[in-house]
Structure formats: structure tokens, C-alpha cells
Amino acid sequence: MKKIAFLGGGKVGQAMAAHVLENKSAEIAFIFDPFRKEDTLLGVPVIRELNETCFEGLDLVVECATADVVKAYAACALKHASFLPFSMTAFREDEVLEGAKKAAAEYGHTLYLPHGAILGLDGIFDGRTIIDEVSIETIKSPKSLGRDDKEYTVVFDGTAREAAGLYPRNVNVHAALSLAGIGFDRTHSRIISDPSVNTNEHVIRVKGEGIDWTIHVTAFAAGAVSGKYVPYSACGSLDRILGSGNVSFV
């Protein structure tokens, strides 16, 4: 049985941890959460400080905290285990991505990139050599974006690299799309604050040699950063990595 750890004990982290425990698909060594007062979460030990020795003996480290956690620990974790990050806006900084890729290659581990809140990243990744244009428009409530807009407002319009720097908790979808496709600088991002919605909505448009795709995803959010679909998506990604389940789409 594989031994794993979670960096982050919020909604998505708890959903994945509960899923693993219910299915007995791995042993959870610990959950890192510096803000949690309890010493356990779902019966799993909680630690509030991290150092490299914490990663020794693990097979997989799952990050579901913040981009700063990815920046601080991705390369270190990959020396000892494979790494599944959900805060992919951290990779807007080329040195963070290159450091993680270098550690994965040097130590024989895998850097996994989950699809998170959207669909179709596998197709975009497969077709990236013939893709010329990629854009993504995200529409969220002001509360989801940490704002108090009273009317429909275009919050940002520019590159995905800029968007990931300005809204690191809200545009992990933009980062994932950039990593799967044609990069942070060639991916066009647009963020809209709309007080009339209680959903997180993403519209992706991809054009290239003989292809023209539109991917439209909407999930209930009620002011949360992540929509209702994300925990299910996260658990599915984890299942495929752990090899649990009888059917897997590839």
C-alpha cells in the first residue's frame, strides 16, 4: 500500500483524505495544516511545520493549500516522492516549474498535473503542437474573487501569467490550461466578477491547425473559491495515480 501525505486540510484536502480512508487505497502519513488547532483530522495526524525529513518514505505528496506551499516544497518533496499539486498558479514562475521538473527527473519521481475544475486538458495536451490560440474566460461571484462589486465587472484581461500572479487562488484553471497547452504567455485570460451568479464558470476556446474547440464548464460555488465539481475531480485524479478503481479513462 502506498504511503501519502496531504499539504492542506481544507475542503478539497479533506474530501480526498476521506475518500482515501473510505476506500483504503493508501496509508495517509500526515496532513500538513499550520492553521488547524486539532492534532488530528479524520483520525490522521496533523503537523504544523514541514521540513525535508517529513517527505522521507512517502510515495506521493498531494498539495491542496496555496501557491506559496508549492513554491516552498515542490522540489523538496519530489526528491522523495511524486507530487500532485492543485495550486498550479505557482508554476507561473519558470524557476518553480523548472526546479520541480529537474527534481522529478533527477530522483525518478512524477510531477502530476490534475485537471481540477475543468475538462478537456488531455485533448489540449495531446494537440498542443497544432494549437495556435488559447483563451479562457472565468466568471465568478465577487465573493469568490474576494471583491464586493455591485455590477458585472471585467476584473482582468491579459496573459495567463499575469492573471496567475494577481489572482493565485482563483485561476488555477488558467494555469493548468497554460501548462497543458501553449504556455502562460500565449494563453489569453479574462476574469469577470458578476454579482448575479452563484457559480464558477469557465469558457475555453482553442483554435489551431484543423481544430476549433469550445469547452464550457459551470459548477455551483455559492461564493467559494472552488466549485462543487472540484472535490470529485480531485478524488478521481488521486484514484488514477493510486491505481484504485476498476475503470480508468486515459
What pLDDT does residue 250 have?
59
CB atoms within 10 A of CB 216: 12
Compute the distance between CA of residue 19 and CA of residue 231 in angstroms, rounded to an integer.
Answer: 10
Domain residues of the chain, as ranges?
3-116+230-242, 121-220
What pLDDT does residue 221 have?
82
What pLDDT does residue 233 have?
92
What's the length of the chain? 250
For the domain made up of 3-116+230-242, the CATH class stated in words is: alpha beta
pLDDT 10s digits, 195-249: 999 999 999 999 999 999 999 999 998 656 677 888 999 999 999 999 976 665 5
Asked whether the beta carbons of 250 and 115 are under 8 A apart, the reply is: no
Quick one: residue 243, left, alpha or beta (phi over 0 = left, psi -120 to 50 = alpha)?
left
Asked whether the beta carbons of 180 and 186 are under 8 A apart, the reply is: no
What pLDDT does residue 116 have?
86
Q: What residue ranges of the chain have pLDDT lower than 50?
A: none
Is 121-220 in CATH node 3.30.360.10?
yes
Can you give the pTM of this predicted structure?
Answer: 0.93
H or E element in which residue 28 lies:
strand 27-32
Query: 70-109 in b/e burial notation, b at 16+ Cβ within 10 A?
Result: bbbbbbbbbebbbbbbbbbbbbbbeebbebbeebbeeeeb
**Residue whose grid cell is 504567455:** 185
Which residues have a catalytic role annotated? 202
